[in-house]
């Protein structure tokens, strides 16, 4: 695996523009949803089993993070906390890259084995997060 900086190719997808747009739209939608006082989203898995799904606590984690309560955000859902922090950093980078038309950062996997191990690492992290949530299922 290597991290490189290069100019965007003419036919290449502009990931920075796409994901920054998705982030801003999602943030606006979530803020509007909560401002209007609409009901909280229901989790079908939790309703059927009484156990938390892998994303249970995501909304509460995001709210705690935006209020600056980082430990509480971590406790609600560590994976969501990390994902939101990474998304915030990526959004700042994407904004700067788009405004300044800077070279783009890309991650390249050299071999299929690297891709395989990266996938295994992500799946293991999600599984560990779910084990954490299941061990705290009474909080949900």
Looking at the domain assignment, is residue 42 inside a domain?
no
Q: CA 43 to CA 84: how far, in whole Å?
A: 20
Average pLDDT, integer, range 31-52 = 92
* Residues above pLDDT 70, as percent of the chain: 100
> What pLDDT score does 95 carry?
98
Q: Residue 5 domain-assigned?
A: no
Dihedral of alpha carbons 18, 23, 24, 30, sign: positive
pLDDT tens sequence across 120-133: 999 999 999 999 99
pLDDT digit string, tens, across residues 74-116:
999 999 999 999 999 999 999 999 999 999 999 999 999 999 9
Residue 66 maps to a domain: yes
Q: For residue 82, is it within any domain?
A: yes
Contacts (Cβ under 8 Å, ≥6 apart) of 46: 52, 53, 56, 140
- 99 found inside a domain: yes
Domain count, the chain: 1
Q: Is residue 63 domain-resident?
A: yes
Residue range(s) defining the domain that contains residue 130: 15-34+50-139
CA–CA separation, 108 and 115 (whole Å): 9
What confidence score (pLDDT) does residue 41 get? 83
Considering the domain boundaries, does residue 127 fall inside one? yes
Whether residue 8 lies inside any domain: the answer is no
Residue 104's DSSP bridge partners are 6
């Amino acid at each position: 695996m290597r991290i490189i900086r290069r100019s965007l190719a003419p036919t290449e997808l502009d990931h920075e523009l796409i994901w920054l747009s998705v982030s801003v739209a999602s943030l606006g939608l979530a803020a509007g949803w909560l401002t209007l006082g609409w009901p909280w989203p229901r989790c079908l898995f939790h309703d059927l089993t009484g156990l938390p799904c892998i994303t249970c606590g995501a909304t509460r984690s995001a709210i705690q993070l935006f209020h600056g309560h980082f430990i509480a955000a971590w406790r609600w859902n560590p994976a969501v906390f990390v994902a939101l922090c990474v998304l915030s950093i990526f959004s700042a980078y994407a904004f700067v890259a788009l405004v300044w038309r800077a070279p783009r950062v890309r991650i390249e996997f050299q071999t299929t084995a690297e891709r395989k191990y990266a996938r295994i690492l992500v799946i293991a992290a999600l599984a560990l997060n779910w084990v954490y949530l299941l061990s705290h299922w009474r909080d949900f």
